[in-house]
Structure formats: structure tokens, C-alpha cells
Amino acid sequence: MARPVSPTSASEEQTSRDDKIASDREGAWNASSDNEKKGDGNLIIPMPKLQRKLKSRHLQMIAIGGTIGTGLFIGSGSALATSGPAGSLIAYAFIGSIVYSVMVSLGEMATYIPISGAFTSYASRFVDPSAGFAMGWIYWFSWAITFALELTITGLLVQYWDRSLNIGIFIGVFWVFITVCNLLPVSFYGEFEFWFSMIKVVTVIGFLIFGICINAGAGEEGYIGFKYWNDPGAFALHPDFPDLAAPVAKWVGFWSVMIQAGFSYQGTELVGIAAGETENPRKNVPAAIRKTFWRILFFFVFTVFFIGILIPYTDERLLSSASDATASPFVIAAQRAGVQHLPGILNGVLLFVVLSAANSNVYAGSRILVGLANDGSAPRFLAHTSFSGVPVYAVGLTSALGLLAFLNLSESAATVFSWFLNITAVAGFITWANISISHIKFMRALKSRGISRESLPYMAFWQPYFSYYGLFWSVLITLTQGFTSFMPWDTSSFFVAYISLILWVLLYVGHKIVYRTRFVRAEEADIQTGCVDFEGEVWDEKVPSNLWEKFWDWL
């Protein structure tokens, strides 16, 4: 439980800020009353009334739950097919480095100003209110669409056992289930998500152990080693461009995997969203960022590595357009090893995995909406929370977009899936680019006030270079990822690739025209509101005492 101990205040401004925080903790402070627009279009953003009920383990598991999902368990197979084992490994490691740069940038901001809906507010405050608006909505949209994508997959997974069942039944059932989970008080939500995510972690670790055994010769194929890196090879030629010269075709294969790899990692930034709800953010947020990142990198890079040594990229099942368990490289690896019953069991596990991801999708989406409503970018009622602190309307609206999954009743599931995937992944890259810009501007704002980086609650190394690195690559990938739609020109794949970018531009320009906002100058950026001086606060910290707790702490 939070137990604030009289923070020392240096100025009047500090005192009023502390008062605000204190009254917020008591639940007496009304967010809307303070949600005024400052004259020049820059916004003062209050701390929302969400409750700090999540513990560090919940926070980290939410980030894992929202991140490890369809991308890793199902989509990684097509990454292998298009770029080969070395190509996909390099792509995943490279995207991992971008994620790291984004995470540390976010970490510095989120510990200094821990607010819910965090990074959309950062963009509004440090960059340009229109940028925050556009980014917030596109990011929300990406999560809501991911929810629809995840529901599509759950329906398909159930059909693995019985194809005669109508996919719509399961989309409906799981839609209700996930929505109800998200309407429960946030501590329940954390608990659900925690156990769901546990299953993922265990699955990935199990797969890694399985991979080592099979590679060493435990399966039907005998010892495998790096055989498939030699034949068919380490890099695949992009299957859609047989006429290109080999080096070009390999490069095309490699670059086209960026979207898939980016999608797989997206969600890591959720730690920033959950920051507003965690206990002891000053300690937990940086720890969560560090641990989450290493854990995810470990899971992702190792998993992709093992998939690459166990399955030749020419295995046709990898390219099967059926987005069900038969397309999962986990299942294919089990089938190749000739292990009985394992494919069916894995299918069951994948169902849990996808449900957990869906649960995180709605959580993330609703919190983004709350952030948007609080900074005046969305109708205010969306920030309304129930007695137990759940933003009911925001949950409802986010869930509503999940109903798009019913598109599957009229379109082929594989098509719907790839549309959803591309739209969300590009939106994710746009978001990462925005986080990086926000951080660059945040650094400038600190500098203009003479606040040293040393005084930040969490200070990452190599900044601001990391932010520039994240910004450069995120922008480059966003702009170039759809290049295959130009070779030759294909209108529909162009729209699939660039619809998120187009939407973002429309939102940005639309907001700019209506509100006539301007770029925030470093000296004007609002780095006070929500900035919490946790110096004097003490939280009861549970030190791991038994073996189980120590294991958790390590994990």
C-alpha cells in the first residue's frame, strides 16, 4: 500500500503539486475540473483517477502478455519462410535493438512523469498537441484492431478440433469473456493476466528445451545441428520475386520481415501505459523496463533461432495461408520431430496465449483512451471510471472494435489477418517514432530549465543517441515497409501497407487545422504536471523471502 511520508517541497508550485497528488490518492480529486486548455493550445494534463493497484509482477506480466503473442507463436513461421534462418534472426535482433532504444527513452519520461496513457500525453506536451492526438488515436486503433485479430485467431484455433463449427460462435464467446475480464476491478485484471502470461512464459521455455533436445537428435530426424543453415541456406530468396538476382531477393526477403518482427515486439511499450497504475513507480518502472526488455529479447531471439535450426525455410507448411495452429512453427517443429499428440496440446496452449494477448489488447486500448480523454483529445466521458477504478466506457469502446473480427464471416480469415497485422504493425512503428521524438524534446525541455539528467529518477545510458537511433529506424521502416507494393504497383497491397500512415497524417493534419496548434517550444513544454517527487515517499516493499518469491524476482 502507498504510504506517502510528508514530501519536502521547495516551492509553492511544488506544494500545490503535492497537494494535488495527495488528494488524488484519497480519491477526492476530480480529474475533469482541472482539465483546462492553456491559451496557446498546449495542454495541462492532470493525473487520472486510476488506482495504483498493480504490483510490479503484474505490470511486467501485462507487458509480456501484450507482447508475446500471435507474432511470435504464429507469425514467426512466415518470417522464416521469407528471409531464412539467419535473415529472421538478424531481423528480430535488429528490431530488438530498436525496442530497447524506445524503452529506455520511455523509461526516463515515465519515471519522471508517471501518468496513465503516458506516451500520448508526452507527445502532446513536449512535441505538438496534434502529434499527441494523432499518435494516441492511431495507437488506440492499433490495439483495438489487434483485439479483432486475436479474436480471429481464437476462432481458428478452436476450429482445429472441429472444422464444422462456425468461427462466429467462438469470436462471440471470447469477445464476451475478454470484455468481462476487463470490466473487473484492475487488481483482478492483473491477476488474470498474470496467470495467462505465465502460460506463455512456460510455453516458450518449454519450446526452447524441446528445441535443444530435438536439435541434438531426440526426434525422428536425428541430429540436426546447423544442417538447415547450409541446405536450403541461411538466407531465403523472397518467394514472391523469383526473377530478382539472388542478393537482391535475399535483401528484399530480409527487409519485408521487419513488419512481422516489429509486430511481434510491439506491446513492450505497455510498461509505459501501466506506469500510471503501478505501486512505487520510481523503483518498479525502471526495473520492469530492464527486465521486460531482456526477457523479451531472450525469448524472441532464442525462439527465432531455434525455429530456424529446426525447420528448413522451404517447409511448405510455413507458408500455409491458414492462420491456424498448422501454420505455427511450434507445431511444425513438433510434427517434424514426430512427437505424438503434441500438435493438439500446443494448439490448446496457443489458445490461452492468444486469449492472454486479447486481454492485454483491451486493457491497453482502454487506458490509451483514458489518457486521450484526460488531455482533451477524446470525449471526456471516456475517462469516467467505475467505483472500482475501471474505465468502463473506454473498455466498452475498445471492445466494440473487436467486433470487426466478424468480418471473417464474409472474407477469408488469412486476408483479414494479414490486413489487421500490417495496419497494427505500422501503427506501432509510428508510435515508437513518436516516443523517440517525445524523448528528444523532453531532453530539450529539461535542458531549457537547467534540470540536469542526473536528477532523473531513472537515467539510461547513451541518451539522446538512442532516441535518434529509434526515431531513424522507425521512420525508415514505416516509409519503406510497403515497397513490395511498388514491384509492380498493386493498389490493394499499397493500402494495406500505408493505411495506418495515411490515417495518422489525416488525424494530425485534421487536428492541426481545427485547433491551430503549433510545435511546443522547449521552454514552454509542460514538464511539471504529473511530475511526482517520490523522494519522500515510502512504499512497503516486500523482499522475496522464500524460494518461489526469489524465483519470481529473478524471472
Ligand X SMILES: NC(=[NH2+])NCCC[C@H](N)C(=O)O
Q: Which is nearer to ligand X, 51 or 203 (CB)?
A: 203
Q: Which is nearer to ligand X, 252 or 274 (CB)?
A: 274
Shortest distance (Å) from residue 485 CB to ligand X: 21
Shortest distance (Å) from residue 538 CB to ligand X: 36
Strand partners for 258: none
Shortest distance (Å) from residue 67 CB to ligand X: 5
Q: Which is nearer to ligand X, 229 or 363 (CB)?
A: 363
Shortest distance (Å) from residue 193 CB to ligand X: 14
How many C-beta atoms lie closer than 10 Å to residue 275's C-beta?
Answer: 27
- Is 501 in contact with 129 (CB distance < 8 Å)? no
Q: Which is nearer to ligand X, 394 or 527 (CB)?
A: 394
Residue 478's H or E segment, with its range, is: helix 465-480
Shortest distance (Å) from residue 140 CB to ligand X: 9
Distances (CA, A) of 262 to 269, 307, 313, 514, 540: 12, 18, 20, 33, 38
Strand partners for 486: 489
Tell me the CA end-to-end span of the chain in Å, nearest whole number: 23
Shortest distance (Å) from residue 101 CB to ligand X: 17
Residue 349's H or E segment, with its range, is: helix 342-374
Q: Which is nearer to ligand X, 147 or 192 (CB)?
A: 147
- Is 537 in contact with 4 (CB distance < 8 Å)? yes
Tell me which residue has its CB nearest to ligand X: 69
d(CA 426, CA 418): 12
Q: Which is nearer to ligand X, 264 or 467 (CB)?
A: 264
Shortest distance (Å) from residue 503 CB to ligand X: 13
Q: Which is nearer to ligand X, 253 or 428 (CB)?
A: 428
Nearest to 312 by CA among 88, 102, 23, 499: 88
Interface residues with ligand X (CB under 6 A) are 67, 69-72, 142-143, 146, 263-264, 266-267, 357, 424, 427-428
- Is 360 in contact with 267 (CB distance < 8 Å)? yes
Q: Which is nearer to ligand X, 74 or 224 (CB)?
A: 74
Residue 282's H or E segment, with its range, is: helix 281-310
d(CA 337, CA 249): 30
Shortest distance (Å) from residue 345 CB to ligand X: 20
d(CA 349, CA 356): 11
